[in-house]
Amino acid sequence: MRFSALCSLAAAIGSVTACDSCYGLTDEVVHERLARRMQLEAENALTRPKAPLEWGQLNVLHTTDTHGWLEGHLKERNFSADWWCDLPDETGLSDATSPNRVDTNLIFNEVNYDLLTIGNHELYVSEIAYERFYYFSRVWGDKYLTSNVQIINPTTGSFEYIGKQYRYFTTPQGLRIMAFGVLFDFGGSSNISKVTKAADVIKQQCLIDAVYYKKPIDLFLMVGHNPVRRSDPTSTFGFVHDTIRAMRPTIPIQIFSAHTHIRDFQVYSDTSTGIESGRYCETLGWLLMSGIKSKTYTGEVKPRGVPNLNRKATSTSKSNLVYSRRYMDWNRKTLEYHATNSQAKTFDTRKGLGVTGDITDDQKALNLSMLYGCAPITYCQSCFPWDIPGNIASLLQISLAAIVVNPSRSTIPRSVIISTGSIRFDLVKGPFTYDDSFIVSPYTDNFLFILNVPYDPILDGLNSAFFTAEQASEASRFGPLPQTKGSCVDPTISLVTSQAGELKGDIKGDFKKRALTQRYHSPPDSRHSWIPSYPQLNCVAANASFPTHGELATVDVVFVDYLADSVVAILNSLGGSYTSADVSYHMPPDFTTETYLPLYAQKYWQANVPNCPVGNGVGYSDKK
């Protein structure tokens, strides 16, 4: 779906990974909705937008970090997503097939995007990376930009770009645009692909020639799975922007960003801004520009009959450029309100209804509604402190202790350590289905262990090390790397990236009693109420079979596979003498982090099955 007026440009940012909360009590929003959504199982939305959209010379719909949420947030009234998302990991529609996205790619192709780019999730697994190369790039052609991402072509044995390095195109109203797609300096790809650092790629003659293109350029666009904020240590947009600005000082630059799962806006200069538009189909970005100098533009700079733009990038700007942005709730009510003939029956198109039907058919074919159990309460990632029931950490401790059990060592004390980064979303009161198992815990990491580790003081030291420092080394596994403190100026509806190492200091304080400070700067499209966001642990330890009396000499230390090197190193730094030879499978290889919650639900959440009531979601009381 796409608004049609003047110059419309839809920029889709590739798939991304989860972020963990900004430390300190941050400000989260909850959307109340009054409108129905298209998927049959969806909870109703509540409120409509507060005002009509502004329109300008360039009008862009922007999607970021959608992670396969084609169905929308079916069980949550506090979220406003409806029917469309794009890339891999984290829902059943995208992850229940092999390889991921076999079905969702066909649905995704129905949207007429103008620009797309790649994310880090497409590069972890070779099979998925080759799917991007052989299929996705062929479908989207020069709209799919991977300016610094290459893959080995098995036929030639040489590295080739997965998509195109740049795209020069002219909009229907005559704006001439040069676009690039720049992934952050990601180092966790499989061995068949590589990401060239931004500092090196911008020196390549091909991109230099594109900046000095033989045809006139009215505007540079940069799209990328790359944080928008300069202060983010993983962002490379600032460097690329400055390099292009030095070569072409008078041409505006507009950046469309992703990766950190937040709604954010960055002013780079009087003629350059950047936007990031949230995650998981919770919000849809709307970025507007007017004042672009162009000899070939045939549209209106100030469209008649609609609100126009009047805000410059800076208060001291001498440029003619003006901007506006909005973050729209991603539901039918919002889109109907902003479309012509609001709430009219003609809003539905044959193509749109076909997509809705395809999503429903895929849900049924994949059996995503298969019920494991009935969650008795809502478990959130950050709306409660980590040690309070209702925080999902409390569920992890209980379920890991109960389910991650090696029968041959079931009576031996064990401590099961798992990263909270493996949990990607809240678990809402109500039916816990096959689909929900992907939404909450989509990864397939194995459980390993080292047996008979001295309990005191080594285990205490191991826990302390993980709970305060593991985020930095783990970030390359899950994608988003730490942000600087205070970077959550526009908090997303849910978690955002955290600053590694800050948790230790915060936990010493009484952060549970900190006053909630509203500091939401980016303009929402609908009314919002506020939900607190508390700092969270990086890892959770679940203890099982511990004696109720007497001394505890040794325990089995159980952990997920990607923590193995860190566990060995930390134990040795605390006086141990372990090697990789001491690490073995605690559970069979087919038992993964995708397994334990469904098994727990099947065993312990059978009350009210099959007539399981849906809760109100995060931010609402389930008490009657």
Give the mean model confidence (pLDDT) for residues 215-234: 95
Number of domains in the chain: 2
Is 340 a domain residue? yes
The pLDDT value recorded for residue 621 is: 63
Confidence class of residue 127 from pLDDT cuts 50, 70 and 90? confident
CATH number at residue 473: 3.90.780.10
Is 4 a domain residue? no
Q: Are residues 356 and 407 in the same domain?
A: no
Is 348 a domain residue? yes
Q: Are residues 493 and 574 in the same domain?
A: yes
Q: Are residues 229 and 257 in the same domain?
A: yes
Residue type, 168: Y
The pLDDT value recorded for residue 461 is: 66
- DSSP state, 121? G
> From CA 101, how far away is CA 622, in angstroms rounded?
35
Q: Are residues 405 and 340 in the same domain?
A: no
> From CA 424, how far away is CA 279, in angstroms rounded?
12
Q: Are residues 51 and 127 in the same domain?
A: yes
Is 599 a domain residue? yes
Give the mean model confidence (pLDDT) for residues 496-519: 30
Residue recorded with tokens 């090697």:
579
Identify whether the C-beta of residue 123 lies closer than 8 Å to the C-beta of residue 195: yes
The pLDDT value recorded for residue 85 is: 31
Give the mean model confidence (pLDDT) for residues 25-51: 47
Domain boundary, last residue among 364, 391, 415: 364
Give the mean model confidence (pLDDT) for residues 449-462: 77
Q: Are residues 335 and 380 in the same domain?
A: no
Across all residues in the chain, what is the average pLDDT? 76
Question: What is the H or E stretch that residue 271 is in?
Answer: none
Q: Does residue 39 register a pLDDT over 80?
A: no
CATH number at residue 95: 3.60.21.10
Q: Are residues 454 and 499 in the same domain?
A: yes
Is 29 a domain residue? no
pLDDT digits 0-9 by tens, 530-566: 677 777 777 888 999 998 887 888 999 999 998 898 8
For the chain, give the percent of residues with pLDDT over 70.
72
Alpha helices, DSSP H only, in 132-236?
137-140, 198-201, 205-211
Which sign, positive or negative, has the C-alpha torsion 13, 17, 18, 23? negative
Q: Are residues 466 and 399 in the same domain?
A: yes
Higher-confidence residue: 214 or 191?
214
The pLDDT value recorded for residue 23 is: 25
Q: Are residues 348 and 455 in the same domain?
A: no
Confidence class of residue 383 from pLDDT cuts 50, 70 and 90? confident
Q: Are residues 274 and 402 in the same domain?
A: no
Q: Does residue 395 register a pLDDT over 70?
A: yes
- Distance of alpha carbon 586 from the chain centroid: 31
> From CA 598, how far away is CA 91, in angstroms rounded?
15
Q: Are residues 420 and 330 in the same domain?
A: no
Q: Give Cβ neighbours of residue 20 (< 8 Å, ≥ 6 apart).
A: 420, 421, 471, 480, 495, 496, 497, 498, 536, 538
Higher-confidence residue: 518 or 229?
229
pTM to 2 decimal places = 0.71
Is 516 a domain residue? no
- How are beta strands 253-257 and 219-223 bridged, if at all? parallel
Q: Does residue 444 register a pLDDT over 50?
A: yes
Q: Does residue 460 register a pLDDT over 80?
A: no
Per-residue HEC secondary structure of 76-128 comes to CCCCCCCCCCCCCCCCHHHHCCCCCCCCHHHHHCCCCCCEEECCHHHCCCHHH
Is 10 a domain residue? no
36-40, 333-337, 541-545: which is most confident: 541-545
The pLDDT value recorded for residue 313 is: 94
The residue among 84, 104, 106 whose CA lies nearest residue 94 is: 104
Is 106 a domain residue? yes
Identify whether the C-beta of residue 94 lies closer than 8 Å to the C-beta of residue 61: no
Q: Are residues 326 and 440 in the same domain?
A: no
Domain boundary, last residue among 335, 364, 393: 364
Range of the domain at 315: 38-364
The pLDDT value recorded for residue 590 is: 93
